[in-house]
Amino acid sequence: MPIASENSSLSSTSPTLLQRVRSGDADAWRRLTDLYGPLVFHWCRRQSVGEHDAADLTQDVFASVARAVRRFEQRSTGTFRGWLWTITRNRIRDFFRRRAAEAGAAGGTAAWQQLAAVAESLSDNPDEYTDQAQLNSLHRRGIELVRCQFEERTWQLFWQTVVEERPTSEVAAEFEISANAVRQARSRVLRRLRQELGDVPPS
């Protein structure tokens, strides 16, 4: 992937993915669905939704997102992922309500009713239904989205200390800079990543 030049304010002033989605950017919408689609699918499967139905529900979720994303407001206690989980949870509830009603009308078993009852009790916290591996995958996809916004040197400082988990002092010595400079570079990339993921308000 080509590395773009990083100016002094790029990481804080470039439009975030969500801002571009709200402006109607088709490429940003594709990136958003690529970024979060696997997570929505995972949430559906975790609630015992079959693979085919989970794929359909994922499409339904993003149809709802497309209709509502312009009204989404970032709050200090909320994240895009939390908002996305709320939409997904509602679609899961609707799915099991329909299946329970169909089963009841057909004189079926109580299994669908039991699953519908479980869906009604889902909490507001998406982390309760998200495997760590899925979060790691989400972060890796997010990292690829922001990589082109930083110089190679800045990126390597971030990569070595965060992904490779090397000590800050060791990386600073290798690049012949101060430990504080390493921390600042790492912080710039991490903040941009959180902005792309909708975890902090944009600057």
Rounded CA gap, 85 and 182, in Å? 35
Instruction: Tell me: pLDDT of 10 over 60.
Output: no
Q: What is the model's pLDDT at position 105?
A: 60
Instruction: Average the pLDDT over 65-89 and give the result.
Output: 81
Q: What is the model's pLDDT at position 98?
A: 84
Any idea where the domains of the chain sit in the sequence? 10-196
**Residue 112 DSSP code:** H
Instruction: Tell me: pLDDT of 12 over 60.
Output: no
Query: Is CATH 3.40.50.300 correct for 10-196?
Result: no
Q: What is the model's pLDDT at position 14?
A: 60
How large a percentage of the chain has pLDDT more than 70? 84
Q: Phi/psi of residue 133, each to 5°?
A: -60, -35
Q: What is the model's pLDDT at position 121?
A: 79
Instruction: Average the pLDDT over 118-127 and give the result.
Output: 84
Q: What is the model's pLDDT at position 77?
A: 57
Query: Chain-wide mean pLDDT for the chain?
Result: 84
Instruction: Work out the end-to-end distance of the chain between its first and last CA atoms, rounded to an integer number of angstroms.
Output: 26
Q: What is the model's pLDDT at position 113?
A: 73
- Residue 41: count other Cβ atoms within 10 Å of its Cβ: 19
Label residue 181 exposed, middle or buried (CB < 10 Å: 0-12, 13-18, 19+). Answer: middle
pLDDT band at 9 (very low <50, low <70, confident <90, very high): very low
Q: Whats the size of the chain, residue-wise?
A: 203
pLDDT band at 51 (very low <50, low <70, confident <90, very high): very high
DSSP string across 165-198: ---HHHHHHHHTS-HHHHHHHHHHHHHHHHHHTT
